[in-house]
A and B are shown apart, each in its own frame.
Chain A
């Protein structure tokens, strides 16, 4: 399981690099044609097809980059825990984070808080001021609609305990 997590970002990085190169090539080609032959010559027929293809390529690069960033964040948290339980709990945590609309920085701070770290420790780990961590925490609690770390934890644990029970209940009845 460990090597798969380690290798996926590398593959993704290569794909992103290759597609960026292609996109840059098409863009440069379009620009050169436009400047050399005049835009009136270029903007017709195939142009719209090529422009659409180039735009699609750029969009793919953007989506893949966001995916890469998600992957890297996940990897950053799971580096030392590769057990299935840690992965499952992490998935629940991530579901909530995206539901609450936490920013990447807030997600990072929330992870550390859940692990029980103090504000000072988090600030040192992230290389930021304690005041910054405090304002991240305030935003996290506001978005999660809880009053503090205890509330945040019980929300997540409730969900962790609830999920497998719900899935088993129908099976036991038959």
Chain B
């Protein structure tokens, strides 16, 4: 096993705070209540911090580093098709696409939720249904995200969830590393 410290403390706290924030806001609080709104602001603040971190933070958190181009996505798919083991030190190309989707849809959920509290959009039906549709979309995406994390962990032999907790990726000796 080779050990690579890859996720900084902020990124890890952000991830698990976002998990807690999304689950509590979407599933555990009454949509009409004060608590739902306050938690919504917390989640929005988390996303805003992450966006700033993606520009000013360390290399592994930078959007300019992990947002993939088409060739990178094809290379990842090709590894899956041929069962070759290449391990990405940072986010994998397909993982990065899901991350962008999660960040964008959760940000839009917060925005549409905020709009409902403003007098201009308070009664607007379309804002409400956009808010609800996005929650369903995000929930489905999260299910795929978690499934993909578990599946990629099995496929590559790297425990990705543990790396998101400890910050360290333990990579099998034989696997090829993509820096």
Residues of chain A at the chain B interface (Cβ within 8 Å): 9-10, 13, 24, 28, 68-70, 72-73, 75-76, 103-105, 107-108, 123-129
Stretch at the interface among B59-67, B83-91, B113-121: B83-91
Residues of A within 8 A of B74 (CB): 9, 72
Closest 5 pairs between A and B when the two form their complex, measured CB to CB: A127-B85, A105-B83, A72-B81, A127-B176, A69-B81
Known: A68-B81, A72-B80. 19 other contacts (CB 8 A): A9-B77, A24-B140, A68-B77, A72-B74, A72-B81, A72-B82, A73-B78, A73-B82, A76-B78, A76-B81, A104-B83, A105-B83, A107-B82, A108-B82, A108-B83, A126-B83, A126-B85, A127-B84, A127-B86
Report yes or no: B175 in contact with A127, Cβ–Cβ below 8 A. Answer: yes
Q: Count residues of chain B with CB under 8 A from any CB of chain A.
A: 18
Residues of B within 8 A of A10 (CB): 70
- CB closest chain-A residue, reference B82: A108
Report yes or no: A128 in contact with B82, Cβ–Cβ below 8 A. Answer: no
| Cα(A72)–Cα(B136), bound, Å | 32
| Cα(A70)–Cα(B86), bound, Å | 19
Residues of A within 8 A of B32 (CB): none
